[in-house]
A and B are shown apart, each in its own frame.
Chain A
Amino acid sequence: MEELKQEIKKQIVESLNLDMTPEEIDSREPLFGDTGLGLDSVDALELIVIMEKFYGIKLTDPNQSKGILQSVDTMAEYIAANRTK
């Protein structure tokens, strides 16, 4: 699971062009909103592309996506249970 979380952090930093190292992201940290990483709506859409591109998971329900993309922890949990790649 730790390896998967590291992988996710690396993809987030690269795909979203964040000015930090993957290690600087706290797995529990909220990705969206005023606290935490402060990602925006376009970043959320890019995360949805990451889910499909690397893990074969298609997220189509915006409400469901919100919960899944809350943090690296929630992403890893969902990916581990649903990945097809």
Chain B
Amino acid sequence: MSRIVSYHSITAEDGNLIALYRSLGINYPKFFKMDRMSKAGFLAAEAVLGQAGLRNEEPKDDVSIVLVNSTASTVDDIEFQKTIGDQEYFPSPSLFVYTLPNVVCGEIAIRNRILGETSFYVQERFDAAFLVRAVRWAFADRSIGKVLCGWTECLAGDRVCRMMLVERDGSGGTGFTEETINEIFKR
């Protein structure tokens, strides 16, 4: 059975993300270019991978990333839309590149040299059962041994980033089930 190796949860409000970054003493200038969702996902991944001893730049071709949220990149779409008004039309490239939610996966992959599969799904709400399915799909790729997975929502409703590292057929840790996911994230 797949097992949860480590997990972490952070709320995705702007202010606390930058403060959190500084308090962790991380040196990664690109962090400041990221949109809110990528900042939150990045920091949650730092914690989850850190706990598992995988927070480094070693190439990881057996690790995949599976993330889910409800509003895709609407939080960034709204900002980009402001730059293409009728009166003031100056579309912003640095905003546009964040108008796809799977870019969060990309940012985490770049930071941690994760070379497996990255997939992003959009669902109405945080659903532990769906996460279990999505990770099972990721493990259908036999060369993958670990999946970094979770929920990264920062615009509407459940505005939080919950992340886990799941290992295929591991020992130790907690079994990766709907029940345990809801338990550890107190849902």
Contact = CB atoms under 8 A, between A and B. Distances in A.
Contacts of B32: 17-19
A49 B92 contact: yes
Interface stretch (A38-46, A62-70, A71-79): A38-46
Contacts of B93: 42, 45-46, 49
Interface in B86-138: 90-94, 97
Main secondary structure of the interface of A (DSSP, over half): helix
A83 B29 CA distance: 31
Contacts of B90: 49, 52-53
Interface in B65-96: 90-94
A52 to B, nearest CB: 7
Interface residues of B, number: 10
Contact of B94 (A16, A19, A52): A16
A29 B91 CA distance: 27
A46 B29 contact: no
Interface of B: 29, 31-33, 90-94, 97
Interface of A: 15-19, 38, 42-43, 45-46, 49, 52-53
Given A17-B32, A19-B29, A45-B94, 15 more contacts: A15-B94, A16-B33, A16-B94, A18-B29, A18-B32, A38-B29, A42-B93, A42-B94, A42-B97, A46-B92, A46-B93, A46-B94, A49-B90, A49-B91, A53-B90
